[in-house]
C-alpha cells in the first residue's frame, strides 16, 4: 500500500510539473494579474486628490470583479459625496481664482474665467514681475502665455468674441504650465512664437495649435487635455494623442497610464480591435496589452474566459490561486528538475535497460 502511494505521489509531481511548464510557456496565465484599484484609490484620497480618486475607481467599477466588492461601492459613494459638498466646491472655486490652477473642474473654469476678463493675465504677469524684482526665477513660458492672452483678449473685444477659442487654448496652456504638465518642446515653441508675435503683431501663426487644444478640451475634458499635453514628445505625437482622445474619450489618459504607453505606440494595430476588449486588457495593465498584441483579440478573450472559469474551481477559487502562485514562483529550471527527478525515481534507469539474455 505504501508503495502504491509513493508511485501516485511521483506521478502527481510529474503531472503537476509538466502542466505548469506547458501553461507557463503557452498561455502565461501567471502574468495576467488584474489590478486591484482600492489601494491606489486610498492613496489618492490620502493626498486629498478626490477627483482623480473618483475617476480611477469609477473606471474599474465597470468591471464585475470590482463592482461586486461592497467596499469598492461604499468608497466610491464616499468620494462622490465629498466632491458634491458645498464647502468643497466653494474652496475649489476660490482656489482657481486665487492661484490660477486647481485639480477640480470648478476651480479650473474659474481660473479660465479670470483669464477671459484680463484678471488672470494681469495677475500672472504681476506675480512673475515680483519674482523678477526680487531676483528670483521667472517662469518665461507663463510670461509668454500671459502676453499672448492680453493680445488675444484685445482681439476678442474687437472681433465680438471671435477670438474666444484662441483665448480658451491659451488658458488651458497656462493651467498646464502651472500644474507642471506642459512638455519641454511646447514650452520652447511658445517662447519662440511669442517673440515672433511681438514683432509681427499677428497671433495667427499660433492660432491652429490653440484652437486644436481648445477643441480637445471640449471633447475629452480639461484634465485629460492636460494629461495629453504632458504625454506628448512633439507636435506629431500630440496630434496622435488627439486622435486617441477622440476615440476613447475621457478614459484615454488613464488607459495610456495602465498600458504604459502601448495604447499609443500600437495604435495602428489596436484600432482594429473592439474597444471593450482593449478596456478589458487595461485591467491587467501592460501585461494585458502584451497578451492582446501577441496572441490577437480572439486568443486573448479565450484566455480571460478560461481564467474566469478556472477561478471558480475549489473553495472560492483557492486551487486556481495556488496554481497561479506556483507558475509565478517556480522557474522553468526548478520545474524541469522536479519532472526529471520524479521520473527517475518512478522509472529507475536500470529498469529502462533490459538485461541481455545469455545464449
Residue 324 maps to a domain: yes
Q: Is residue 290 part of a domain?
A: yes
**pLDDT per residue over 120-146, tens digit each?**
677 777 888 888 788 888 888 888 777
212 and 99, same domain (yes or no) = yes
User: Which residue shows C-alpha cell 474665467?
Assistant: 113
Structural domain includes residue 207: yes
Residue 88 falls within a domain, yes or no?
Answer: no
Domain annotation covers residue 240: no
Q: For the chain, how many structural domains are there in total?
A: 2
Query: Are residue 200 and residue 130 in the same domain, yes or no?
Result: yes
Contact 222, 108 (CB under 8 A): yes
Considering the domain architecture, whether residues 141 and 209 belong to the same structural domain is answered as yes
Q: Which among 341, 345, 324, 316 has a CA at the least distance from the CA of 19?
A: 324
Q: Are residues 199 and 317 in the same domain?
A: no
Instruction: Verify that 116 and 16 share a domain, yes or no.
Output: no
Same domain, 15 and 111: no
Together in a domain, 213 and 297 = no
Q: Are residues 224 and 112 in the same domain?
A: yes
Mean pLDDT estimate for the chain: 78
Residue 198 CA to residue 280 CA, distance in Å, equals 50
In this structure, are 112 and 197 located in the same domain? yes
> Please, what's the largest Cα pairwise distance for the chain?
117
Instruction: Say yes or no: 102 and 226 in one domain.
Output: yes
What is the reported pTM?
0.68
Q: What is the pLDDT of residues 195-247, one digit of tens each?
A: 887 777 677 788 888 877 877 787 777 777 887 888 788 888 888 888 888 88
Domain that holds residue 335: 8-33+284-349
Instruction: Render pLDDT for 271-313 as a digit per residue (tens, 0 to 9).
Output: 999 999 999 999 998 888 988 998 889 988 988 887 776 666 6
Within a domain: 167: yes
What span, in angstroms and rounded, lies between the C-alpha atoms of 228 and 249? 12
To the nearest 10°, report the CA torsion of 107, 112, 114, 117.
-160
Same domain, residue pair 208 and 333: no
SS3 183: coil
Q: Is 189 a member of any domain? A: yes
Same domain, 126 and 222: yes
Any domain includes 171? yes
161 — pLDDT class (breaks 50, 70, 90) = very low
Amino acid at each position: 500500500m505504501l508503495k502504491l502511494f509513493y508511485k501516485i505521489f511521483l506521478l502527481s509531481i510529474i503531472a503537476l510539473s509538466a502542466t505548469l511548464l506547458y501553461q507557463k510557456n503557452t498561455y502565461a496565465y501567471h502574468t495576467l494579474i488584474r489590478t486591484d484599484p482600492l489601494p491606489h484609490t486610498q492613496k489618492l484620497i490620502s493626498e486629498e486628490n478626490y477627483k482623480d480618486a473618483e475617476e480611477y475607481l469609477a473606471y474599474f467599477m465597470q468591471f464585475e470583479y470590482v463592482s461586486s466588492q461592497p467596499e469598492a461601492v461604499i468608497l466610491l459613494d464616499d468620494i462622490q459625496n465629498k466632491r458634491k459638498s458645498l464647502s468643497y466646491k466653494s474652496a475649489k472655486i476660490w482656489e482657481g481664482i486665487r492661484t490660477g490652477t486647481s485639480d477640480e473642474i470648478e476651480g479650473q473654469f474659474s481660473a479660465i474665467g479670470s483669464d477671459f476678463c484680463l484678471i488672470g493675465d494681469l495677475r500672472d504677469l504681476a506675480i512673475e514681475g515680483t519674482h523678477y524684482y526680487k531676483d528670483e526665477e521667472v517662469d518665461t513660458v507663463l510670461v509668454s502665455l500671459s502676453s499672448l492672452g492680453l493680445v488675444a483678449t484685445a482681439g476678442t473685444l474687437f472681433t465680438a468674441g471671435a477670438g474666444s477659442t484662441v483665448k480658451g487654448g491659451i488658458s488651458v496652456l497656462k493651467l498646464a504650465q502651472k500644474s507642471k504638465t506642459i512638455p519641454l518642446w511646447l514650452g520652447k515653441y511658445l517662447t519662440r512664437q511669442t517673440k515672433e508675435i511681438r514683432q509681427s503683431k499677428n497671433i495667427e501663426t499660433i492660432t491652429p495649435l490653440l484652437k486644436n487644444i481648445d477643441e480637445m478640451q471640449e471633447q475629452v475634458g480639461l484634465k485629460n487635455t492636460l494629461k495629453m499635453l504632458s504625454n506628448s514628445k512633439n507636435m506629431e505625437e500630440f496630434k496622435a494623442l488627439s486622435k486617441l482622445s477622440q476615440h476613447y474619450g475621457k478614459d484615454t489618459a488613464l488607459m495610456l497610464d495602465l498600458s504604459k504607453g502601448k495604447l499609443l505606440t500600437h495604435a495602428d494595430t489596436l484600432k482594429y480591435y473592439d474597444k471593450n476588449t482593449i478596456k478589458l486588457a487595461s485591467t491587467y495593465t501592460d501585461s494585458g496589452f502584451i497578451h492582446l498584441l501577441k496572441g490577437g483579440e480572439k486568443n486573448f478573450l479565450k484566455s480571460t474566459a478560461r481564467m474566469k472559469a478556472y477561478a471558480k474551481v475549489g473553495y472560492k477559487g483557492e486551487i486556481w490561486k495556488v496554481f497561479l502562485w506556483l507558475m509565478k514562483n517556480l522557474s522553468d529550471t526548478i520545474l524541469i528538475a522536479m519532472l526529471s527527478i520524479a521520473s527517475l525515481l518512478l522509472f529507475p534507469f536500470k529498469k529502462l535497460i533490459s538485461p541481455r539474455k545469455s545464449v
